[in-house]
Structure 1
Amino acid sequence: MSALFSPTSIGPLTLANRIVIAPMCQYSADDGNATDWHMMHLGQLAASGAGLLIIEATAVEAIGRITADDLGLYSDANQEALAKVLAGIRRFAPIPIAVQLAHAGRKASSEVPWAGGQQVPPGQPRGWDTVAPSAVPHNASEVPPLALDEAGLARVKAAFVQAARRAHALGIDAIELHGAHGYLLHQFLSPISNQRTDAYGGSLENRMRFPLEVFDAVRAAVPATMAVGLRLSASDWVDGGWDVEQSVVFGQALKARGCDFIHVSSGGVSSQQKIPLSPGYQVAFAERIKQDCGMPTIAVGLITEAQHAEAIVANGQADMVGVARAVLFNPRWPWQVAAELGAQVQAPPQYWRSQPREYKDLFIGARIGQR
């Protein structure tokens, strides 16, 4: 039996298999509102046969968007637009759905990737003032962010809480807080971006304080029936930055607070990062955090082959495997992997007749007849 296609759970949520579609920004929203693109895009991924679909980084306030085209969940209009998309998907695909709640901090006010991805200065169309733990820009050539004061910290925390409540009202199954890739919560964790001298900066305990306060507030804002986890960059890949040892301490603090899962990535806080890319280059981080923190763990990063994904779960390196670009290229990647591993996968009955003859038992419950 395939380990990758065995069931698992994250807190109260049961997953049919261990494949997680990681959140991938689409930069296709209208004032934070989901559009027809999201209906098409998420509809494809919902029919993929994966165990969990995580909706892209979804801003908790307008200035927390990476770009002016980012998805948001900070207004009634945002909530209504996403409700329409979710209703369309759920008519045909029963996959559990999570949303990644995010704030880009100093990496906000950027252009979309296919237009260069550079910062858009405040005062220009599609640009605004950004906020961060400290007035330190991501790149020296950028306009520095505004350091969050006490009122700003309270506002951001409240924005996460309100977005979490909106997610629950939408019937979303889980929340993933975005604490990775150089965005706001990660900016508080890393000494590269956090140069505060108050209770939120300096020591590891202080740098963890605001992300943990946000987690506590979100966890308290939604019922225990809704899973809450966090995505973490386990290393900045920069000397003197955030690293796996600090990640373990942070993960243990999250575990003690009732965190249901941790999604382990890396990098993003500094342009000086040096990442040695190779298949599964972040899996060792996930393995360490799973071992030392003891909560359901998702490994991600250039995992594209069936046997590799199977081995990660079978060998206990992680509980789940996150897939992103591979499933963008091939939205039926879980079907292909199930076929290669001799496993079964859920598929909409409209697609049952696509089942190759050599894989007659690939689709769960498939009955194919023709008059």
Structure 2
Amino acid sequence: MTIKKLTASAPAPGVPFYTPAQDPPVGTALEPGPDVPTLFTPIKLRGLTLQNRFVVSPMCMYSADDGHLTDWHLVHLGAFALRGAALTIVEATAVTPNGRISPEDSGLWQDSQIAPLRRIADYIHSQGQKVGIQLAHAGRKASTLGMWHGNKVAGPEVGGWPDNLWGPSAIAWDEGFPTPKEMTVAQIEGLVQSFVDAAKRSVQAGMDFIEIHGAHGYLISEFLSPITNQRTDAYGGSFEGRTRVLLDIVRGVRAVIPDDMPLSVRVSATEWMEYTGQPSWTLNETTRLALLLADEGVDLLDVSSGANNPAQKLNIYKYYQIDMAGHIREALIKAGKGGKMAIGAVGMIDDAETARDVVQDAGDKTKADLVLIARQFLREPEFVIKTAKQLGVKIATPHQYHRF
């Protein structure tokens, strides 16, 4: 005779193991009303509803096994979902083997990489939270060692591929770094298909959200910049030429993912090279691009900056990237596209007051709709819970932790 196990806790639905359902999800405001900061109010991106405005930004961990995520990632990423982050985005995930930043980077270029990603999705879903993935190609900045080894090239002896780097033009990242091969048109078309294929695998792995990495000096942002893209064909020269790869990828991915799945693009709003007086990728060009992306089915623009040129000169202050996000958001509203695409802000969001103020509803003066946070979550995985306490917001916390 089979004895049915009785439990006072309803199990989380749709996952292949028992865990108590977190209903409502951790991080949900329990006493909603006009006094609750926007930070703890829901937001909807297509068919995806987030119970608060906290997003775990993608963070490279250099801990994958031939592109396959491991139990290390399950624990690392699961910790944020357990503690109330509404959306956790898996680190930059390469769409081709040579698109990894390091030999230990996450990848999604083959079907065997789906299952370990699915395991992470199942856990995050078991906590009532959402999970996304950032699809990427590192371009000329590929084949380097993990960050704790310093900014060094990974040679063949450690699984690197310095002789097989891609770029829009044959321009090395810096002195002492290998020169990438200028991509052929066939390779560019193959790259677009690789993003499309990885997006399909993302859906199979249970992802709720996909982000295309178009920032930080990796391949797509190399195409955007007139400094690193000196092509004379249809993929270079004009603004239209330099943005073509990104737009082709966006269109390809949007066509193969569910209609209700949100699509995001991360951009470097400026490459911080204006001081040279020469053409570069600037906030004005990013704003122009944002207006196009809003019409292409992009639901969130994740606004970062820099990292495409070692000679960059950043103007750093608390809101140095947040203000650029606000500028783009205001431009979208003025163009009548404010409802088409949300804006995410990143950088130096490391305290409760900043997180609150960035997304607080102030009409067309609101800086952003979501905060994407990385380093502060590493310092404090419980940042959502701590922020709620500091702001006087009563939220749902993990059932298993109530005794504390």
Q: What TM-score bracket applies, with the shorter chain setting the length?
A: over 0.9
- Given the alignment of the two structures, is residue 304 of structure 1 paired with residue 354 of structure 2, yes or no? no
- Given the alignment of the two structures, is residue 199 of structure 1 paired with residue 199 of structure 2, yes or no? no
Q: Which residue does the alignment assign to 2:254?
A: 219
- Given the alignment of the two structures, is residue 127 of structure 1 paired with residue 160 of structure 2, yes or no? yes
Displacement of 1:166:
0.6
TM-score, scaled relative to structure 2 = 0.85
Q: Which residue does the alignment assign to 1:265?
A: 304
- Tell me which structure has the larger Cα radius of gyration: 2
- Aligned with 1:176: secondary structure? strand
- Given the alignment of the two structures, is residue 60 of structure 1 paired with residue 95 of structure 2, yes or no? yes
TM-score, scaled relative to structure 1 = 0.92
In structure 1, distance between residues paired with 2:133 and 2:303: 16
Displacement of 1:89:
3.5
- Aligned with 1:321: secondary structure? strand
Displacement of 1:124:
4.0
For residues 242-292 of structure 1, the C-alpha deviation after alignment (integer angstroms, 9 at most, x for no partner) is 110000111111011111111100001000111133323201110011111
Letter of the structure 2 residue corresponding to residue 309 of structure 1: A
Q: Which residue does the alignment assign to 2:6?
A: none
1:329-344 mapped onto 2 (5 Å cutoff) = 329-344=379-394
In structure 2, distance between residues paired with 1:227 and 1:61: 23
In structure 1, distance between residues paired with 2:115 and 2:206: 12
- Given the alignment of the two structures, is residue 110 of structure 1 paired with residue 144 of structure 2, yes or no? yes
The 10-residue stretch of structure 1 (273-282 or 262-271) with the greater mean CA deviation from structure 2 = 273-282
1:221-236 mapped onto 2 (5 Å cutoff) = 221-236=256-271
Which segments of 5 or more consecutive residues in structure 1 lack a partner in the other structure? 355-371
Contact map agreement 2:264 2:298 (CA 8 A) in 1: yes
- Aligned with 1:69: secondary structure? coil
- Aligned with 2:169: secondary structure? coil
1:1-371 mapped onto 2 (5 Å cutoff) = 1-91=36-126, 93-121=127-155, 123-128=156-161, 129-239=164-274, 240-293=279-332, 294=338, 295-314=341-360, 315=362, 316-354=366-404
Contact map agreement 2:125 2:131 (CA 8 A) in 1: no
The 10-residue stretch of structure 1 (205-214 or 344-353) with the greater mean CA deviation from structure 2 = 344-353
- Aligned with 2:243: secondary structure? helix
Which segments of 5 or more consecutive residues in structure 2 lack a partner in the other structure? 1-35, 333-337
Letter of the structure 1 residue corresponding to residue 220 of structure 2: L
- Aligned with 1:241: secondary structure? coil
Contact map agreement 2:83 2:398 (CA 8 A) in 1: no
Displacement of 1:88:
3.4
Displacement of 1:2:
1.1
Displacement of 1:34:
0.5
Letter of the structure 2 residue corresponding to residue 353 of structure 1: R
Contact map agreement 2:56 2:373 (CA 8 A) in 1: yes
Contact map agreement 1:27 1:69 (CA 8 A) in 2: yes
In structure 1, distance between residues paired with 2:398 and 2:80: 12
Displacement of 1:174:
0.6
Q: Which residue does the alignment assign to 2:18?
A: none
Letter of the structure 2 residue corresponding to residue 350 of structure 1: Q
Letter of the structure 2 residue corresponding to residue 256 of structure 1: D
Give identity over the alignment, percent: 41
Displacement of 1:43:
1.1
In structure 1, distance between residues paired with 2:259 and 2:324: 28
Contact map agreement 1:160 1:218 (CA 8 A) in 2: yes
Letter of the structure 1 residue corresponding to residue 358 of structure 2: I
- Aligned with 2:38: secondary structure? coil
Letter of the structure 2 residue corresponding to residue 125 of structure 1: V
Please report the RMSD computed on the Cα atoms of aligned residues, expressed in angstroms: 1.2
Displacement of 1:114:
0.3
For residues 81-106 of structure 1, the C-alpha deviation after alignment (integer angstroms, 9 at most, x for no partner) is 21223223433x11111110111011
Letter of the structure 2 residue corresponding to residue 104 of structure 1: A
In structure 1, distance between residues paired with 2:228 and 2:79: 37
Contact map agreement 2:90 2:133 (CA 8 A) in 1: yes
For residues 284-311 of structure 1, the C-alpha deviation after alignment (integer angstroms, 9 at most, x for no partner) is 1100111112220011101111111111
Letter of the structure 2 residue corresponding to residue 205 of structure 1: E
Contact map agreement 1:280 1:300 (CA 8 A) in 2: no
Q: Which residue does the alignment assign to 2:31?
A: none
Displacement of 1:345:
3.1
For residues 44-71 of structure 1, the C-alpha deviation after alignment (integer angstroms, 9 at most, x for no partner) is 0111212211111111111100000001
Contact map agreement 1:8 1:14 (CA 8 A) in 2: yes
State the number of aligned residues: 352
